Each structure stands twice: as structure tokens, then as C-alpha cells.
Amino acid sequence: MTTLFEKIIHGDIPCHKVYEDEYVFAFLDVAPLSNGHTLVIPKEPVAHLHELSDKSAAALGSALVKVAAAVVEATGVTAYNILQNNGEEAHQAVDHVHFHIIPKVGDKGLALKWNPEELLDGQALASEITAYL
């Protein structure tokens, strides 16, 4: 099934494009949390970050830095959030990898509630994760 973002990339749905290269597309969010709220997406149609090819991932990382710098310059902000969600339970609304660049100005921008927990047996968990790299 073609996602909303694939339709935007292919020009089937209009957008306010701010960046494009062989692997990446970036455009303004139509329902921004603040002025300059921008989406940066890979052209590769995958739902989760861990599914990206190495080429798309590298290009996305490079483009994210460029676009974030441009958003900072254009809006004059000194603070911003980068948000990326994977899966419906993590609040992903479109099944296509995407990063939000969200400028923070006063009460405009991303609002978070952070609920830290105690790290239990960190060495064992680190070893388990490392085994999959």
C-alpha cells in the first residue's frame, strides 16, 4: 500500500518542499507544532528505522543535519527537538520512516513528559544488545 509520504515524494500530494536529493525528501509539516516544523524522510519506503538500507540511513543522517541547520537559520531559534517514532505504540502515525525537526520557542514546539526508571543489570543488557551488532 502506498503511504501518504510516498504520494508526497511522487508529487501526487502537494507539499512545501525544502530539500531533496537522491535518497531524502524534506518538507514542512502541514500541522506544525511550531513555525518551521519540518519532516525529513527517506525515499526508501520502509516503516521502521532499523529497516533502512545503509545508503538511505547515511543519506538521511547527513540531510537531517543540513535541514536542521537551515531551519535554525530561517526561524532564528536556538532550541529544537528531533523526533522519530517507530510503530503505532510509539505514536508513529504514518508507516514510513520520518524525522520531525521541531523548533522550540516558549510554549510552542514539542512538549514531553519524561518518566525515567532505574537501570537494572545494565551490563547484561548491554552485552545482549552488543551480541546483535
Catalytic center residues:
98
The DSSP code sequence of the chain is: ---HHHHHHTTSS---EEEE-SSEEEEE-SS-SSTT-EEEEESS--SSGGGS-HHHHHHHHHHHHHHHHHHHHHH--S-EEEE---SGGGT--SSS--EEEEE-BTTBS-----------SHHHHHHHHHHT-
